[in-house]
Structure 1
Amino acid sequence: MIEKLEMFISLAREQHFGRAAESCGVTQPSLSAAIKQLEDQLGVMLVYRGSRFQGLTPEGQRVLDWARQIVGDTRTMKEEMRAARQGLSGNLRLAAIPTALNLIAELTAEFVQRHPKVRFTILSRTSVEILSMLENLQIDAGLTYLDNEPLGRVSTVPIYSERYALILRRDHPLADRDRIDWGELSELPLCLLTPDMQNRRIISQHLSEAGAEVTPMIESSSLIVLVAHVRQGGWATILPLKAAEIFLEGGELAAVPIAAPEAHHRVGLIAPHREPHTPVLAALLAQAASLSGRFQD
């Protein structure tokens, strides 16, 4: 039953029989047969069928909610029993918004020192993708914004608040400013993250509130692309100070705090709202809380 539920979750996520089968490591006929067997066991039709996947039935949507809960609880039980035998071990799957990737190393470094049998898989994703992956059991936890857009039913550990700065070359005429206002940024050739990124939506909101009409010269989902253009000269970008730290090393670039008003947006760790958490995930949440205390100090 658990294996069939996992296939059903994959089908709901991929919305395509072939891709779902590939993600499960089975053939498409095997996946289709498993879904049909699940329907027979439950006595309801779960999937609208035609020449291709046409969506879940109302009963299928309700079963999906149960499937996520049952599969998640089963994995938690297995992880807890493994921890009882071997201590904390295994692979933790994390996804982070691009502007929080710097923080990941601070979160994982001490954790791995304490728990050397734990490995990490770390992905860069948008805030929307992180929530979807968490819901579909593709990741164990995510690092994302906590207070700007709805998160749904998740456990959260606030870690720090983003503060924003204009990032430009050290030889730029504005580089020696103590601060700059949001309304002044409309005159600059900016490189910004793409609109699907919550950071971009936050920045666009603050610019709009300041009456600044901005059409970016460069848009990218990569911070490296944005900063590379700034380094070429002539361009500037807006980044959270935490995300900019790694790019400011060496002194080639400068960060001018953006004020009037100074914006703050909380970033933290989110995990499924499930009790108990796996021992490994519980330890990670505790590590995040410890890190949060350091930033607040």
Structure 2
Amino acid sequence: ERILAWARTLLAAHDGLQAEAASCRGQVVGSLRLGSVPLASFNPMHLLLPLREKYPELHFQLSSHTSEQIVDGLSRNQLDLGICYLDQVNASFFDVIELGTTTMGLLHDTRHFQLAHSALRWEELGDIPLGLLSKGMHYRQSLDLSFRSRGLEPMAVLESDSTFQLIQAITSGVCCAVMPLDCGLEDLSEHMRIIPITDASVLSPVGLLLRRSEPRSAIAEQCFDEARALFASMPR
């Protein structure tokens, strides 16, 4: 395990060297290692697509982690950029672009659940079978707090640490799930619908992080600057 840690550092240094050389030639070439929390009101494709269009030789390594793992990965130079919740982030060590607050809705498949609502209250979720992220994950902690503060107990029929498996359960009719608004999940199928839940949000905002300490990847710096310009002109 100790040798593996050094090997990863060497490989990251090699990729960083290649990216620096390309940057000196005015090119953005190589791989951007982006870590993201699995659920937030931000679709990473809103960042990757503009970058891909502007830098066709750029490749992406997109991985899903907890906020703590993203901070650690950035600190260890195992990630270039991270999208995570900011309540556990020491801003003195990172450059941060705040991406807004995560709001929530009930994601369901209309083939299995017919819900004629324009909005829902937390109290109306009590009789609906729900799929939840595993305990200990940031998004799950926020959900549990929302239920407990109202004296409610969700009907949890499935727990998973995989968003993909939750989506599979929804499309199979096993359950519905409280998911972030504006993250693109409802676009995965013509049968998917998401209904906003009143007063449902994660208290901590989501942000894009870049490590301040050297060495910093030239690709990471360029993409972070592009993101700053992109999101400055977009409504959160």
* TM-score with structure 2 setting the length: 0.82
In the TM superposition, what is the alpha-carbon distance from 1:227 to its structure 2 partner? 1.9
Distance 2:134 2:35 in 1: 18
Distance 2:170 2:53 in 1: 36
Of residues 30, 35, 43, the one that matches 1:103 is: 43
* Aligned positions of 1:34-113 closer than 5 A: 79-80=19-20, 82-85=22-25, 87-100=27-40, 103-113=43-53
Which residue pairs with 2:2 in the alignment? 20
Of residues 195, 203, 207, the one that matches 1:268 is: 207
CA deviation profile, 1:153-191 (whole Å, cap 9, x unmatched): 321111243210011232566621111112332332210
In the TM superposition, what is the alpha-carbon distance from 1:202 to its structure 2 partner? 1.4
Task: List runs of 5+ in structure 2 lacking aligned partners.
Answer: none
Matched AA of 1:105: M
1:192 aligned to 2:132? yes
Distance 1:135 1:215 in 2: 39
Contact 2:186 2:194 in 1 (8 A): no
Matched AA of 1:263: S
- Pick which of 72-81 and 122-131 moved more: 72-81
Of residues 122, 126, 150, the one that matches 2:88 is: 150
Distance 2:19 2:130 in 1: 47
Which residue pairs with 1:255 in the alignment? 194
Contact 1:100 1:143 in 2 (8 A): no
In the TM superposition, what is the alpha-carbon distance from 1:292 to its structure 2 partner? 2.2
Which residue pairs with 2:145 in the alignment? 205
Contact 1:101 1:124 in 2 (8 A): no
Higher relative contact order (CA 8 A, sep 6+): 2
Distance 1:274 1:112 in 2: 26
Contact 1:175 1:255 in 2 (8 A): no
Distance 1:183 1:253 in 2: 22
Matched AA of 2:181: L
1:214 aligned to 2:214? no
Alignment identity in percent? Answer: 22
Contact 2:80 2:217 in 1 (8 A): no
Matched AA of 1:20: R
Which residue pairs with 2:166 in the alignment? 226
Higher helix share: 1
1:283 aligned to 2:228? no
Which residue pairs with 1:117 in the alignment? 57
Count of paired positions? 231
Stretches (4+) displaced over 6 A: 72-78
Structure 1 residues 210 and 86: alpha-carbon distance in aligned structure 2, compared to 1, 3 A threshold: same
Contact 2:130 2:176 in 1 (8 A): yes
- Pick which of 208-217 and 134-143 moved more: 208-217
Matched AA of 1:246: L
In the TM superposition, what is the alpha-carbon distance from 1:114 to its structure 2 partner? 1.9
Q: Secondary structure at the match of 1:156?
A: strand
Distance 1:155 1:288 in 2: 12
Contact 2:102 2:180 in 1 (8 A): yes
Contact 1:159 1:289 in 2 (8 A): no
1:180 aligned to 2:120? yes
Task: List runs of 5+ in structure 1 lacking aligned partners.
Answer: 1-18, 27-67
* Aligned positions of 1:165-176 closer than 5 A: 165-170=105-110, 175-176=115-116
Which residue pairs with 2:235 in the alignment? 296
Distance 2:234 2:144 in 1: 26
Contact 2:15 2:30 in 1 (8 A): no
